[in-house]
Structure 1
Amino acid sequence: MTRSRFFCSLLVTTAFISAFSETGRAAPVSSGKTVHPTAKPVRTAAATPSAPPAPKVETLNAVGIRRRSHGTQISMGQQVLRTMVPGTNPLKALAQTPGVVFQSDDPQGVDTYSVNLYMHGFAQNEIGMTMDGIPLGEPVYRAYNGLNPVQAISSENVERLDVTQSAGAEGAASTNNLGGSINYVSSDPKDRMGGQAAQTFGSNKMYHTFFRFDSGALNKTGTKFYASYMRNETGKWKGGSDQFMQQVNAKIVQPIGQDSKITAFFDWDNLQQTNYQDYSPYWMQHNGTGLDNFIGTPNGYQNAYNYAVGHGLPSNVYDARDSSYYDSTSMSYDYFGGLTADLALTNHVRWKTTIYGHEELTRGTYTNPYGCGSNYYIADPTGTSADAAYCSNNRVGLNGNPMFEQTKRPTDHRYGILSSVTYNVAHHQITGGVWYENNKYVSDEYGYAVPFPKEGQMWDQYGNLPSGGRELWGQTYNTNTFTAFVADTYHPVHNLALHFGFKSMLNTTRVGEDANYEPFTGVSAITGGESLTTAEAFMPHISADWTFLHNHELFFDISKNAHAYSQSGYNLTASPMAVSQAAFNDAKSSLRPETAWTYAVGYRYHDRLVQGSIYAYRTNFSNRMQQIVTGGTVSSLLSEVRNVGGVTMNGVDAGVTLTPVRGLAITNSISYNHSTYDSDMTASGITYGTHGKQVVDYPRLMYKARAAYNWRNAEFYVDAQYMGQRSYSYTGDYQLPSYWLTNVGARYVLGEMGHYNKHLSFMHNVTFAFNIYNITDTKYASTVGQNGFLMSDPKGQNQSILLGAPRQFFGSVKADF
């Protein structure tokens, strides 16, 4: 009911503003200049039905980068995004830039369980993300204060990504932007009525469908909107079952005068994905890449049951009982939207305010084969309900089956407001703003009985849950966040910008225990009735940007930021409150929020033939929280959440783009990162020599290359990246091997179809594209650390990697109308 009231009021308010503005009864805002409320909207180039020009190559260096005076900002637009397979996660395109790592087990990067991003050593839960300024929270799999960007907006509706490196961007509505911030900018509705239809087909029965309708200007005031529908479905590249997602986006823009507007955005999405099995490097080395769960395979349920009772286990697989479960699935529904007023109050003062809301309902399942504890089920593997008595140590008290469906059912409800004022006076641009959000996160886990094989097949994981489930544990978090910032950018001369600002943050979370089934959790109480507060009154940001001799630019950036305490379900991630009450009591006095000081300096040069850049940085990362596991099985992933102390990062990125002839761009970049732990670590009473060891899962060396060429209406590209070795344990006694990954693609724009057949004149920008992912069919570990890391793992037996997809083919067609 709350959700319905919020979004209905949002849409009614927008419609009221539209009607009120059209009647001319609304008083124009005084701005010191003549305002024409009935002025015709300016027609954009996209609305002109003439034949499009030949596509330009947008490089990822000087051509594709836009600088802002208060930090290093990279802006990546649709010219780069459109070269990817339609529906691809825009963060994957960002990974073509130096210092950025994108990980996923699927070629589009939309499997939310596997998606992971690193930027200059910081993981994605340490990078602030927003959409049109609206906070998206931590974009992790078990999101507790937001949603993954692919669930917030379809990639076709993304106008560009604005990326701020280092820990700056004090205006970003985020409590976790230690390593930078990324803002998704949604495209506006077109001024002319029309739309877009696109279809993609690919390997493993993949198809991606996208439709969008633009209303065009509906009245003299310029009211306009669009609505789109996206559907993405693919079979898994190994194992059985599939991954499905559908999404609706809508946006309405109401101009007010000539320099103000009110905008509303809405997103609904539904995701149903069967996850790939968590892998280990040991399996990859000794058993290949084919191990996966049984769901969707012939006789899969019986095979999963046999594994659970210890029959038919492969003798050549280490920890075979954990090599294949019956299923592991993810499902979610999101309702997300906001209403923004962006008003020019005068020639010098601008006020922008956004109210937003988001509700998420999720479910994650996993067929746990340990219903009888660590012992094997000792009944006949054919199984009947009468065999329940033989389960000697039933941890969940259901029907005695060694398998049960372990089901997480978290919900997230958050509402907030952000407001800022910008004042331009003399040579100063002064900005100040505030952000408030209330977030209620409920994380519960249940156990559900599953049938014995002779009783029938497994029920639908995405359908209605059966009755009689047992709540295994539950926690409710309630968080209030308030931030404020002030910043001034001063231009003493036209080519020099000096910036100073600071951010303040107050974040308080209180957690309550909802349930604790001790035979399953093994503890008498999980954390409840406790609270943690992150309070940082002064986090400064200082920078300077000097452009000289037309083609040269120097800049530096110094900033501090903090990461509020994260949240999760019990024993799932590195959340200090997702532990037993006893463990929390022991650690509470030593808990400190993560903070980072980052110092960066850079230089850029650009002319017609050469664009080059170099970016060097040092980060002092304090109080780093990490999850440390003491066993290699998924049944017991996490035993401790610890402050691993400080991490010192020193790194440099260098890149150059050559444009020797028209239409050709050749880009090369290299990144070096020396990120090491500042001290040894102690876990389970044992001290490990981690001082000076490279941090887990981030390579010391990366190299990236891309060549793109367009000729008339055709465009071709090839990109390649080298990923250096990555530490797979805190002591670094196992290194994941380096690898090369290469992709190619081609596009051709037919343009106006009326030139070929007058009956097709309503179609234009008809585009055909073909892409090959991983053309060399490299076998590699993509996502790393989704289940944490061991202190020491010399054989690579920890089950905490996901494999990258093999070679995949995609073909697509798109038309505007």
Structure 2
Amino acid sequence: MPALLAPDSAKAATGEVSAPVSTQAHHATRGKRPVRGVSKASRVPAGRSAGAAAPVARHRDHGPVQGGSEALEVSSHRSVSRGADNVVSKAVMEQFTPGTSVLKAADRLPGVSFSSTDPLGIDLWGASIYVRGFFMDQLGVTLDGIPLNDQTYESNNGLNIIQAAISDDIDRSIISEGPGGVNVPSTSTLGGTMQFETADPKDQLGGKVSQGFGSYSSFRTYARLDSGKLNSTGTKFMTAYSRSDEGMWAGGGSQFQQQVDAKLVQPIGHESVMKAFFNWSDLAEWNYWDTSLAMLKGLGWRTPHLYPNYAKAYNYVAGNISLPTTDAIEANGDEPYLYDGGQQETNYTGGLNFDLALTERLRWRTNLYGTSQTGYYTYSDTSTPSADTEAPFSQEVWQNRQERYGFTSSFLYKIANHSLDAGVWYENNNQEAGLFWYNEPTLGEGAPLKTVGPYNTYGKAFQQGYGFNWRTNNFAFHLQDTWRPVENLRVTAGFKSVLATTAGGATYNNSDYTGVDALPNGSMTASSAFLPHVGASYRFLKNHEFYFDLAENMRTYQVLPNGVGNSPWSVQDQDAFKKLQHGVSPEKDWVYAVGYRYTDKLIQASLAGYHADARNRLQAATEGTILAPVSTVVPTTVHTNGVDAAVTLTPIKGLAIYNSVSYNHSTYGGNITTSDGIYYTKGKKIVNFPQFMYKANLSYRWKGLETHFDVHYYSKRYYSYVNDTSVPGYWLASTGARYNFGKVGFAKNLSVDFNVYNLFNSKYISMMGQNGNPMSGDYQSLERGAVREFFGTVSAEF
């Protein structure tokens, strides 16, 4: 997790735009990082790179699904879908170890790639999800209609779903692998949407408790209480608490999270309802240290942080001892040995939703919401000694805060064969970001700082690099008509208009650190009056469906501080920012999807093809070393073509056999020019995403017993932009079983779960490019996937 240091003054004068290369904004950029600008003549597209069939299950009314295609319910093991939407039910999510990120359940779908450094997928630094080549900062994500936006680590414009709701309380997920609907509120929709819905309180008084244990001293506790209906109007509520502490499979530390959910449902008459939702989450996590191809070859698979061995880290940085290395590691500029790194966050999320039947034909749906996030992202900076002690390194802390408040409101009117949907979305986001350094103690004179805080044990921050403050206002309007000329044909046409303005920037500049007199400050606006969407679903024969979906999408400008991401405010100085104000356009793309689906009791099959053309995509590329990176943001285009196919067989009751294959061909549309010259990236494959994926799931249910076996294959992924380095493909298998004993004494549905992650102990790379991808060759920006781990859970309802 590199640190941001003062830019090289000679290179700073080039006026090019620069930012970290990672596909997610990272908190610290180790080393001196010039931020360069791109001339208007060379500018092109912005941003980053560009359903499974299953047995039909009984449809349940969960309320409206936002998007251009109608989605159906999911069976107990797989998803049943319509159009470009796939619905993943709670029953599917329950096959995973309790506490697992709900994003992992989406990985069952063809075209979706989820990877993480930990088996539960809760380490945000080492977790990533792609949908048909689109990264998780290019997807529209909502929770009960609340826009969560950018899902990446340390985002200034969003909240990851695992921090917004307890996974046990998520009732279902609607995953659109097409362009997504115009009525999904989001600043980041380019390649699809993910809509998560929490479960309503139950009608009967009761609750649930579960206790889980796992490898490396992991544990998890979950408790939920449902009030049942409290009165004749149907008032009911639920509240839940979870506490998990996932042990580290390499190095010291842990990954701790605790959350509280609460939900109130108040029916209004027979056709209307008010729902209120609240979540509080707190996490304190050590992260796994980044590695490189050279480190993996020379030092082996496990190269963790040195925590809790402070003396070893102290003496190594002071030069008193040496630790193993190789010529390739030295030449690469890698830093294999740091004391620690991680994050601490506190989040609040709340929403008030009204679904009101004004007449038999007219409904009014309104959602008022707010989110708050305070985060500290940190690592031991070996390049900056502590100022007030004798410690040879310090703790670098990237501090951010965001508060988002907004509302969505729409009217739905049915007339003849038409369903009209018109609505607006407004959001105000106050964002802050600062970079600070804190003293570590002299060896033997106190306990060292922990990466999860507190940080001021040995005094206030002795150095600040910068301070940023922004205010972003987002406004969107959508209008959509769903027409059913005949019962088996559904045609959707609509558009949305988007206006997003961000004002602000640097409020403090340490010129000794940044090397410039003024950091970026000013206003940027991303707007589009007409972003169209057209789709259709046609059930032309019994069990047969054909669909298509096409739309133009736009992502608003990312808001990130100096040197942290491909944002206009990440450039080196105010002069470079002013050039961008008149020379950069927001990222847009056209996404096309077409598919066929067959569904009956014995076999369910689907075949889908898709194409996307992205323009104005700002591509971040890294040169130099992790201690002295030089990250250049350059514009390019990305062209994507792909196909997904899936089939599920249900030969006997309780048995389901699922297989899917995916092929994705995404390439860059132009070459990249940096201070080192021209890199010939035109026609090269996009980084970090596999071209080929195979997935299989075998599940069986008999009376109280449920078993499942999952296997995934991901092909080679390119690491460098010129495709001269890559990580190999890998197989990953997991299995699990559950037995429900039914009612035992006062307990109902007493069950025991046992799951094994990475059954064959495969060694594989999970997250790639978290510190940026190299233009050519190697770089310390890889994360290793978790080793084989075992988990057991006992749960009961009452």
Q: Is the pair's TM-score, using the shorter chain for normalization, greater than 0.5?
A: yes
| Deviation at residue 650 of structure 1 after TM alignment | 0.2
CA contact (8 A) 2:716 2:727 kept: yes
Residue equivalent to 1:378: none
- Whole-angstrom distance in 2 between the partners of 1:332 and 1:431: 37
Counterpart code for 2:663: Y
Match in the other structure for 1:244: 256
- 2:240 paired residue number: 228
Q: How far did 1:602 drift?
A: 0.1
238-247 or 517-526: bigger deviation = 517-526
Q: What one-letter code is carried by the residue in structure 1 that aligns with 2:754? A: F
The answer (yes or no) to whether the contact 1:406–1:446 under 8 Å persists in 2 is yes
Partner of 1:277: helix, strand, or coil?
coil
Residues 1:194 and 2:185 are matched in the alignment: no
- In 1, the alpha carbon distance for the partners of 2:389 and 2:633 equals 33
- 2: CA distance between counterparts of 1:539 and 1:596? 10
2:61 and 2:774 map into 1 onto residues whose CA distance is 55
Q: 1:315 to 1:232 in 2, by over 3 A?
A: closer
Match of 1:406 among 390, 393, 396: 396
The residue that corresponds to 2:754 in the other structure is: 770
SS in 2 for 1:285: helix
- Residue-by-residue CA offset, 1:49-104 (whole Å, 9 max, x unaligned): xxxxxxx96343xxx2232xxx5111101110000000000110110110000011
1:718 aligned to 697, 709, 719, which one? 709
Q: 1:730 aligns with which of 711, 714, 721?
A: 721
Question: Aligned pair 1:656/2:647, yes or no?
Answer: yes
Where 1:139 maps in the other structure, the secondary structure is: coil
Q: Partners of 1:492 and 1:306 in 2: how far apart?
A: 76
Aligned mates of 1:57, 1:258 — CA distance in 2? 29
Which structure 2 residue ranges, 5 or more long, are not aligned? 1-59, 63-73
Describe how 1:405-424 pairs up with structure 2 within 5 A. 405-424=395-414
Q: Which amino acid aligns with 1:642?
A: V
Confirm or deny: 8 A CA contact 1:637 1:788 kept in the other structure: no
Q: Which residue of the other structure, out of 315, 337, 340, is the alignment partner of 1:306? A: 315
The match for 1:139 is 151
Change (3 A) 1:234 1:59: closer
The answer to whether the 8 A contact 1:572-1:638 is kept is: no
The alpha-carbon deviation at position 461 of structure 1 amounts to: 4.0
Shift of 1:346: 1.0
Match of 2:682 among 691, 700, 704: 691
Q: What is the match of residue 517 of structure 1?
A: 510
Deviates more, 1:185-194 or 1:108-117: 108-117
Q: Which residue of 2 aligns with 1:58?
A: 76
1:553 has 2:565 as partner:
no
1:98 matched to 2:110? yes
Partner of 1:813: 794
- Matched letter for residue 657 of structure 2: I
Percent identity over the alignment is 40
Matched, 1:316 2:325: yes
Partner of 1:389 in structure 2? none
1:489-518 alpha-carbon deviations (Å, 9 max, x no partner): 100000001110101100011122122222
Which residue identity does 1:749 align to in structure 2? N
Report deviation, 1:308. 1.8
Report the secondary structure of 1:410's partner residue: strand
Q: Indicate the structure whose relative CO is greater, using CA pairs within 8 Å and at least 6 residues apart.
A: 2
Q: CA deviation at 1:176?
A: 0.8
1:750 paired with 2:738, answer no
Deviation of the 1:627 alpha carbon: 2.1
> Residue 665 of structure 1 corresponds to which residue in structure 2?
656
Secondary structure (helix, strand or coil) at the match of 2:504 reads strand
Cα-to-partner distance string for 1:748-776 (whole Å, 9 max, x where unaligned):
111122xxxxxx1x311111111000011
Question: Counterpart of 2:312 in 1: which secondary structure?
Answer: helix
Secondary structure of 1:623 counterpart: strand
For the aligned residue pairs, the C-alpha RMSD in angstroms reads 1.7
CA distance in 1 between partners of 2:312 and 2:508 (Å): 33
- Alignment of 1:605 with 2:592, yes or no, is no
- Say if 1:167 and 1:596, in contact at 8 Å, map to a contact too: no
Q: Could you tell me whether the CA contact under 8 Å between 1:615 and 1:654 is conserved in 2? A: yes
Structure 1's unaligned 5+ residue stretches are 1-43, 47-55, 373-395, 754-759
Equivalent residue number for residue 590 of structure 1: 583
Q: What is the rounded CA distance, in whole Å, between the counterparts of 2:337 and 2:775 in structure 1?
A: 25
The residue identity in structure 2 corresponding to 1:782 is: S
Deviations 1:362-405 (A, max 9, x none): 11111100016xxxxxxxxxxxxxxxxxxxxxxx8555643111
Deviates more, 1:577-586 or 1:535-544: 577-586
**Cα deviation digits, residues 202-258 of structure 1 (max 9, x gap):** 001011110000000011101000000000102210100111000000000000111
> Which position in structure 2 is the counterpart of 1:392?
none
Quote the Cα distance in structure 2 between the aligned partners of 1:751 and 1:415. Answer: 44
Where 1:306 maps in the other structure, the secondary structure is helix
- Residue type of the partner of 1:240? G
Kept in 2, the 8 Å contact 1:142–1:568? The answer is no
Alpha-carbon contact 2:256-2:285 (below 8 Å) kept: yes
Partner of 1:367: 380
Give the number of the structure whose alpha-carbon radius of gyration is greater: 1
Aligned partners of 1:414, 1:427: CA distance in 2, in Å?
Answer: 38
Partner secondary structure for residue 251 of structure 2? coil
Counterpart of 1:630 (choices 609, 623, 628) is 623
The answer as to 2:344 corresponding to 1:344 is: no
Residue 455, structure 1, aligned to residue 468, structure 2: no
Q: 1:593 to 1:719 in 2, by over 3 A?
A: same
Deviation at 1:732, TM superposition (A): 0.5
Which of 247, 255, 280 is the aligned partner of 2:267? 255
Which of 530, 551, 554 pairs up with 1:538?
530
Q: After superposition, what is the alpha-carbon deviation per residue over 1:182-205, rounded to whole angstroms, capped at 9, x for unaligned?
A: 011000000100000011100010
Equivalent in 270, 279, 304 of residue 292 of structure 1: 304
Tell me the distance in 1 between the aligned counterparts of 2:241 and 2:628.
40
Is the contact made by 2:306 and 2:313 (CA closer than 8 Å) also made in structure 1? yes
Structure-2 separation of matches of 1:638 and 1:457: 35
Q: TM-score, normalised by structure 2?
A: 0.88
CA distance in 2, matches of 1:192, 1:370: 60
Q: Deviations over 1:3-46 (max 9, x none)?
A: xxxxxxxxxxxxxxxxxxxxxxxxxxxxxxxxxxxxxxxxx999
AA paired with 2:200? D
* Secondary structure, counterpart of 2:126 in structure 1: coil
Aligned match of 1:640 in 625, 632, 636?
A: 632
Aligned to 1:569, which of 561, 573, 589? Answer: 561
- Offset of 1:560 from its aligned partner? 0.7
User: Which SS does the other structure have where 1:614 is aligned?
Assistant: strand
CA contact (8 A) 2:344 2:453 kept: no
Looking at structure 2, the residues matched to 669 and 311 of structure 1 have their Cα atoms a distance apart, in angstroms, of 55
Say whether the 8 Å CA contact 1:571–1:638 is kept in structure 2: no
| Deviation (angstroms), 1:457 | 2.8
Q: Which amino acid aligns with 1:412?
A: Q
3-state DSSP of counterpart to 1:492: coil
Summarize the Cα distance change of 1:45–1:121 in structure 2 as closer, same or farther, 3 Å threshold: closer
Deviation at 1:488, TM superposition (A): 0.3
Count of aligned positions: 720
Kindly report which structure 2 residues correspond to 1:258-269, keeping only aligned pairs within 5 A, or say none. Answer: 258-269=270-281
Contact 1:593 1:623 in 2 (8 A): yes
**Distance (whole Å) between structure 1 residues aligned to residue 245 and residue 387 of structure 2:** 37
TM-score normalised to structure 1 length: 0.86
Give the CA deviation at 1:586: 4.6
Q: Tell me the distance in 2 between the aligned counterparts of 1:150 and 1:638.
A: 32
Residues 307 and 321 of structure 1 are in contact (CA less than 8 Å); yes or no, is this contact kept in structure 2?
no
Counterpart pick for 1:502 among 468, 492, 495: 495
Task: Please state whether the residue corresponding to 1:584 is helix, strand or coil.
Answer: helix
Give the whole-Å Cα distance in 2 for the aligned partners of 1:521 and 1:307: 28
Gap change, CA 1:638 and 1:685, over 3 Å in 2: closer
Task: Report the CA distance shift for 1:159/1:315 in structure 2 as closer, same or farther (over 3 A).
Answer: closer
Is the contact between residue 365 and residue 407 of structure 1 (CA under 8 Å) also seen in structure 2? Answer: yes
1:181 corresponds in structure 2 to: 193
**Cα pair 1:638 1:788 within 8 Å, conserved:** no
Cα distance, 1:288 vs structure 2:
1.1
Q: Return the match for 1:801 from 782, 786, 789.
A: 782
Counterpart code for 1:426: A
